[in-house]
Amino acid sequence: MQEDVVRRGRLSGERTGEINQFLSSMDADRCIADADLLVDIAHLMMLERQGVIDRENAAAIMKVLLAMQKTGVPEEAFSEHFEDIHAGIESVLIAIAGEDAGGRLHIGRSRNDEVAACIRLHLRDELILQLGLLVKLREVLLGCAQQHRESFIPGFTHFQHAQPTTLAHHLLAYEQAFSRDFDRLNQAYSRVNLSPMGAAAFASTGYRIDRDYTASLLGFDGIIMNTMDAVAARDFAIEVLSALSIMMATISRLCEELVLWSSSFTGFVSLEDSFCSTSSIMPQKKNPDTVEIMRAKAGSVAGACTSALVITKGLPMSYNRDLQELTPHLWRGARDASMSLQLLPGILSGARFDTVRMKTEAGKGLSTATDVADLLVRKYNLPFRTAHSIVGRAVKKGSVELKALDEAAKEIMGNTLSEIGLTQNQVITALSVENSVVSRDHPGGPAPSATAEAIALARDKLNIDHKNVESKKSGVSHAIDTMLAEAGRLAQ
Ligand code: ARG
């Protein structure tokens, strides 16, 4: 077992397994082990370039770091008798390279700036992944919307049949929400991708370091200026978790609809078998388990966000070990969100919609009653409130046919609508689901012409967002490749 180089000077006595387990962040640190090596490499290159560490020692350390980088962080670095992966990697490094060289890597830094840098690097990759997945999800939604521009469905308020709309309109509502989720995560990215390195414990260091150089090696967009803030801040993580919670709340609403729509009450959609389960006792069952789990994941992500927020709320400046407890919530929240994002496009593109059934339901519940009231306003110049009352009274009588409308009008305004010229044919035309939907052709409306325009606009933004993700991805990998190539030269 490697000696823990961090503890050995100041502290004595072996710790019990329970204490180690309680204190160690090793489990969660598996997520940041690779990032830690990159931070080590960048820090070392900066120290050498600044003349803080000589070329020979730098080369000896770099050889070991690059070997680990190639083969993966060795398992012994993950032993739980180390408090964390930073202590683990440094201890293994010193065991291999010797203390005279390896013991110099931690000049001018602390685990406090180190861990913050690692979290930011890994979170940056997570964000790029999630942004890419959001682009894909939106693409699928737009594709489905395009296919279903003429598929009528009932629109609900209070889960009561309200007005007819199209499936395209409904799916586009989700696409818009996911487009805002993209924007939120994209903005969060700009606050994540900043370097805390050089902050050391919190007060920076007296060595002639170059914070900007370390930041640029790692592909960060800049540094976090105040060094106390650099180690103490976790608002970037809470911000990401909160954006993910909002996104998951939308995903959960969509899942809820897929549950409702696939029920035999509704019968609008059939999900692919691979996303469903059956019952161990009821052989006829096909249950939409995947979307149910996804609906629940929204709760888990919101829980992770709440945990992270509450962990930080009572902490004085600057670093407190409590911060370690926040990080696993971040990775758990990010994983639940990205797994959901990964599955959802397949669920949607494999969903079979029963357009006949949807159309039948679209006209139920007198869903076009508003159009009859609108007809009375437009054609016979009635005040909308009077028209609304007449149609409402007719509905109360159980019908919106001319006879019932006439009776209602007589009660409300003293004369019938037939008297002023209303015909049964006009009422029938107003009650048509197609006519109702097609007439709602304003920007953002359900009419097929309006959804065609909305899809085109959404595609334009999606293309820009897609390019944005690609450029982030290539910018980051270019920075890391360049750094590693330079690191290779230093190791010679
Ligand atoms: N494992 C620690 C964390 O995740 C790393 C920083 C430790 N710093 C300290 N001063 N004990 O926060």
Q: What are phi and psi of 108, to 5 degrees?
A: 70, 25
> Per-residue pLDDT tens for 286-318?
999 999 999 999 999 999 999 999 999 999 999
pLDDT band (50, 70, 90) for residue 7: confident
**Among candidate residues 414, 431, 448, the one where a domain is terminated:** 431
Q: Please identify which residue in the block is written with the tokens 């007060």.
A: 203
Percent pLDDT > 70 in the chain is 100
For ligand 1, is residue 115 a contact (CB within 6 Å)?
A: yes
Same domain, 222 and 356: yes
pLDDT band (50, 70, 90) for residue 405: very high
Same domain, 276 and 423: no
Percent pLDDT > 90 in the chain is 94
Same domain, 298 and 386: no
Burial of 437 (0-12, 13-18, 19+ CB in 10 A): buried
Same domain, 293 and 373: no
Whether the pLDDT of residue 199 is over 90: the answer is yes
Whether the pLDDT of residue 97 is over 80: the answer is yes
Same domain, 298 and 388: no
> Is residue 101, in this structure, part of any structural domain at all?
yes
pLDDT band (50, 70, 90) for residue 11: confident
pTM of the model: 0.96
> Is residue 470, in this structure, part of any structural domain at all?
no
Same domain, 160 and 233: yes
For position 2, what pLDDT does the model report? 74
Same domain, 72 and 160: no
Q: Mean pLDDT, to the nearest integer, of 77-97?
A: 96
Same domain, 202 and 332: yes
For position 43, what pLDDT does the model report? 98
> Per-residue pLDDT tens for 229-245?
999 999 999 999 999 99
C-alpha–C-alpha distance, residues 144 and 414, integer Å: 50
C-alpha–C-alpha distance, residues 114 and 282, integer Å: 55
CATH code, domain with 116: 1.20.200.10
Q: Mean pLDDT, to the nearest integer, of 98-121?
A: 98
Q: Work out the number of other CB atoms within 10 angstroms of the CB of residue 227.
A: 23
State the closest ligand 1 atom to the C-alpha of 28, by its place in the atom list counted from 1: 4
> Is residue 37, in this structure, part of any structural domain at all?
no
Q: Mean pLDDT, to the nearest integer, of 474-484?
A: 98
> Is residue 59, in this structure, part of any structural domain at all?
yes
Active site residues: 158, 279
Sign of the C-alpha dihedral, residues 397, 403, 408, 411?
negative
The residue count of the chain comes to 492
**Among candidate residues 362, 386, 417, the one where a domain is terminated:** 362
> Per-residue pLDDT tens for 31-72?
999 999 999 999 999 999 999 999 999 999 999 999 999 999
Domain hosting residue 374, numbered range: 369-431
For ligand 1, is residue 285 a contact (CB within 6 Å)?
A: no
Name 383's Cβ contacts closer than 8 Å, sequence gap at least 6.
Answer: 377
Whether the pLDDT of residue 383 is over 80: the answer is yes
Give the mutation target among 25, 27, 89, 331 for probing the ligand 1 site: most ligand atoms within 8 A of CB: 25
For ligand 1, is residue 352 a contact (CB within 6 Å)?
A: no
User: What DSSP character marks residue 137?
Assistant: H
Q: Is 53 left (phi over 0), alpha (psi -120 to 50) or beta?
A: beta
Q: How far is the CA of 239 from the centre of ligand 1 (A)?
A: 21
Whether the pLDDT of residue 171 is over 80: the answer is yes
Q: In the chain, how many domains are there?
A: 3
**Among candidate residues 431, 451, 472, the one where a domain is terminated:** 431
Same domain, 156 and 59: no
User: What are the angstrom distances between the C-alpha of 92 and each of 35, 74, 103, 207, 245?
Assistant: 16, 8, 11, 25, 38
**122: its two tokens:** 């890994």
Same domain, 253 and 394: no
Whether the pLDDT of residue 205 is over 90: the answer is yes
Determine which residue's CA is closest to atom 3 belonging to ligand 1: 324
Same domain, 267 and 343: yes
- What average pLDDT does the structure give for the chain? 96
Same domain, 191 and 314: yes
For position 336, what pLDDT does the model report? 98
**203: its two tokens:** 């007060």
